[in-house]
């Protein structure tokens, strides 16, 4: 069942790990009953170790902890790191654990890419930030620019339900205790109207994309999208083109210092088409852009884990919140415009057309391949998404990058 807009929420923007991590760790420290955490990546660095210690301390106080991580994203934790969590009573679940073939990881697609934390069913965090020191400026020039939100109010009920449902539906070992997870019933806490949208491979395959399309098609003033991995399908490209033709200001802030160069290369294949239609494109050049945010007109905003590329729009498990709040919209809009002016390189038509004659056939082939890639991947036998609880006995004695976290049985 699709979620409905919920009124009466309080929301706070968190920019980068410097704002996100302290708030999450403080909330875990204050937890009394339950912590649900979903993420793509936990690294065994200063951030991951602090998260581990806060989860262990909470578990020892009697707080129920359920951590869901992706087996592809979180693949290199040591046995010591993991066993300390499990022995403290933390429930750790691997999403879609798969064996390697010829030393290569095989679980490339349909990842658990959501980033959600829910504490005591009353406080939630949603965004694009993983638990990694790469989201701190102190990690150097490769640190990531990213966003999340801290939320209280009725929308937390829906976020909590989404995490519990993933545990229930995907867990290999069915537990009656899932039904004992604290049901969230939150009264109004503010004035913001919000909607949770998830993307899965069952009943919610296009929810996030449809909400983007609806907002872009109905926009009357401005569209600003900051997205790390931008290679949408034709419907979104056409909607952006048409919005620019209607006279709207359409601004894209994309990667200029990419953490995955081939992804940015795909995005640049689209520049000529968009700029000719009046779309303004800026490449963020201070550090890798990892955000997935957008503001449209003066009310609509979205923040979450979903990129605008084939993996996020058609393969991964994603979660975005959609926000109807003028003050929040204006705050993020001003921040993004400041980024575009002070930290970005504007892409002109002259720049976009350099080498266009030889890039055109590559663009045609790449665009149409990626456009139909999800359907091609769908030809292969589908597997039900699964969460496997991690046990100490299942851990490898050592876990270098070339080895799986779990022994494959």
Q: Which residues are catalytic?
A: 113, 115, 120, 290, 292, 297
Q: In the beta sheet, which residues pair with residue 346?
A: 282
Strands 344-347 and 280-284: what pairing?
antiparallel
How far is C-alpha 299 from the geometric centre of its chain's CA atoms? 22
Q: Is the C-alpha dihedral spanning 399, 400, 404, 405 positive or negative?
A: positive
Find the distance separating the first CA and the last CA of the chain, reported in whole Å. Answer: 36
The DSSP H or E segment spanning 253 is: strand 249-255
DSSP H helical ranges for 202-325: 207-218, 234-245, 261-268, 271-276, 310-314
The DSSP H or E segment spanning 160 is: helix 155-170
Find, among 98, 7, 193, 134, the residue nearest to 385 by Cα: 98
Instruction: Give whole-number Cα distances, 147 to 209, 340, 345, in Å.
Output: 19, 16, 21
What is the spatial distance between Cα 386 and Cα 407, in angstroms, rounded to a whole number? 16
Q: What is the dihedral of CA 94, 144, 110, 99, to 10 degrees?
A: -50
């Amino acid at each position: 069942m699709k979620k409905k807009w919920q009124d009466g929420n309080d929301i706070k923007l968190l920019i980068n790990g410097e704002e996100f991590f302290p708030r999450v760790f403080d909330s875990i420290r204050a937890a009394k009953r339950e912590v649900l955490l979903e993420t793509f990546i936990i690294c065994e660095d200063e951030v991951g170790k602090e998260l581990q210690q806060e989860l262990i301390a909470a578990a020892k106080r009697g707080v129920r902890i359920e951590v869901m991580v992706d087996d592809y994203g979180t693949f290199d934790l040591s046995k010591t790191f993991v066993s300390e969590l499990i022995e403290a009573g933390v429930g750790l679940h691997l999403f879609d654990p798969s064996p390697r073939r010829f030393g290569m990881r095989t679980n490339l697609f349909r990842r658990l890419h959501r980033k959600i934390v829910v504490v005591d069913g009353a406080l939630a965090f949603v965004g694009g930030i993983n638990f990694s020191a790469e989201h701190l400026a102190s990690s150097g020039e490769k640190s990531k620019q990213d966003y999340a939100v801290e939320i209280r109010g009725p929308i937390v009920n829906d976020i909590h339900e989404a995490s519990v449902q993933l545990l229930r539906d995907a867990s290999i070992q069915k537990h009656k205790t899932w039904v004992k997870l604290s049901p969230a019933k939150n009264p109004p806490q503010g004035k913001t109207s919000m909607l949770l949208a998830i993307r899965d491979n069952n009943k919610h395959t296009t929810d996030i994309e449809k909400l983007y399309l609806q907002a872009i098609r109905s926009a009357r003033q401005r569209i600003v999208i900051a997205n790390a991995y931008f290679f949408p399908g034709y419907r979104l490209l056409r909607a952006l083109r048409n919005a620019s033709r209607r006279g709207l200001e359409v601004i894209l802030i994309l990667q200029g210092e990419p953490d995955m160069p081939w992804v940015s290369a795909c995005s640049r294949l689209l520049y000529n088409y968009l700029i000719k239609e009046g779309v303004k494109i800026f490449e963020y050049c201070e550090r890798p852009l990892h955000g997935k945010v957008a503001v449209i007109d003066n009310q609509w905003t979205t923040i979450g884990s979903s990129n605008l590329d084939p993996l996020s729009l058609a393969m991964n498990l994603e979660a975005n919140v959609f926000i109807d709040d003028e003050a929040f919209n204006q705050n993020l809009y001003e921040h993004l415009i400041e980024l575009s002016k002070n930290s970005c390189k504007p892409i002109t038509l002259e720049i976009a057309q350099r080498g266009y004659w030889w890039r055109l056939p590559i663009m045609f082939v790449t665009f149409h391949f990626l456009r139909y890639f999800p359907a091609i991947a769908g030809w292969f036998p589908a597997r039900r998404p699964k969460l496997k609880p991690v046990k100490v006995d299942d851990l490898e004695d050592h876990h270098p990058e070339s080895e799986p976290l779990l022994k494959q049985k």
